[in-house]
Amino acid sequence: MTNTPSHRAEIDLSNWRTRPYSAWSFQNAAELVPSATIRSARQPETQALDLGRLSDLVVADVAGKPRPLPDFLLESDTDNFVVMRGGNFVAEWHAPASDPAKPHLVFSVSKSITGLLAGILIGQGMLSLDDRLAKHLPEAAGSAYGDATLRDLLNMQISIDFDEAYLSRDGAFDRYRRAMLWNPDKADDPAPDLKTFLCTLPKAAHPHGTRHAYRSPNVDMAAIILEQASGERFAELLSRLLWQPMGAHSDAQITVDRAGNPRASGGISMTARDLARVGELVRTGGRGIVPADWIASLWAGGDRAIWAAGDQGYAYPGGSYRNYWYDTGTGALAALGIHGQWLWIDPATQTVIVRQSSEPDPVNDRMDQTVVAVMKAVSAAS
């Protein structure tokens, strides 16, 4: 099977995030949604490793059955799997239909990338965590965002009346998907551009900064704030301040709406190896690209009490959330995306692991817990 399937003509905005089409579309999002390029400064890589001795590693699947790691990866709709140890690539695996040289949609791992870019701009004095969002975007006044601070925004502690309903085909979430051009629009209810949509979202009853509420529009708003503060488009900022200095080997992409607003909450595509390089940058303290104190804050974690009482607290007992990164409560940091996207950073074993996937369900808690166990096993065995 090639990466250009014969059923391409069947793929459109109504089905591109469903199996079997997603195995192709998650590596070709720019054919379906307008996208901006995040340019690298190096040549794309042409060589790939294999799993080496990790091929013999036995892990448990969702049902608890033992599986050799390659079988688990194939059976769990994994597309790409890459392992770094001590800064070197040591193992990788790619599904038969996957092209490791093509950028793969990483969904909400995009949030964590946005958090790093925010840290760079804050380090340059362009922004402050105490800034009110309406200072940079006056149109946000009166919405959920107007009186919130950048700190509230980056920690997912915005008081907002919005339901994160990935499969909804009506209501606010569907309107959000249509505003970002990810769902077909409706002639009788056309969606506005993304910035306009965000500025219509109402505040919830509780104060900002008191609850962890995972809401994707927060990160799209963050990207717009970064653009407003810097006077530069998100893709160009990311290329200049992170992608090229980090040494990415391939161009990345980000989907944009009809007005060019970036979909930073879930629209970035990149190769698995370049995502692993992001993880290595975080593991090694930012290397002067991202401020060291910003990276240290990620490792220190966020407010654990707010996390425990929030809508994701069950996922990582003893963990927390800060600047769009997950403190897993196990000593590892993680960045996650729906449909099975993972970046796992284990400083104890100097291991960085990337899993890019096209799982059929946006969220599968049992699979996520299985993947955590696999990440731990691979880290220990690498």
State the Cα–Cα distance between residues 280 and 282, nearest whole angstrom. Answer: 5
- What are phi and psi for residue 104, nearest 5 degrees? -110, 135
Residue 49 has which token pair? Answer: 């490793």
Q: Which residue has the tokens 């790619």?
A: 94
Measured from the Cβ of residue 151, the count of other Cβ atoms closer than 10 Å reads 16
Cα separations (Å) of 282 from 151, 220, 240, 324, 357? 20, 22, 18, 13, 22
Cβ-based burial of 189 (10 A; exposed 0-12, middle 13-18, buried ≥19): exposed
Percentages of the chain per state (helix, strand, coil), in multiples of 5: 35, 15, 50
Cα separations (Å) of 151 from 157, 209, 210? 8, 8, 12
State the Cα–Cα distance between residues 130 and 133, nearest whole angstrom. Answer: 9
Angle, in degrees to the nearest 10, between helices 109-123 and 217-230:
30
* First-to-final CA distance of the chain: 30
List the beta strands (DSSP E) in the chain.
Answer: 35-38, 58-60, 66-68, 78-85, 88-94, 104-105, 252-255, 268-270, 320-322, 325-327, 333-337, 341-346, 351-357
| 94 beta partners | 80
- Is the N-terminal amide bond of 34 cis, ω within 30° of 0? no
Please give the full DSSP string across 191-240, using - where no structure is assigned: ---HHHHHTTPPP-SSPTTS-----THHHHHHHHHHHHHHTS-HHHHHII
- What are phi and psi for residue 287, nearest 5 degrees? 50, 35
Which one, of 265, 262, 285, 281, lies nearest residue 273 by Cα? 281
Q: Which of 40, 98, 108, 358 is catalytic?
A: 108
| 60 beta partners | 66
Instruction: Confirm whether 108 is a catalytic residue.
Output: yes
Catalytic residues: 108
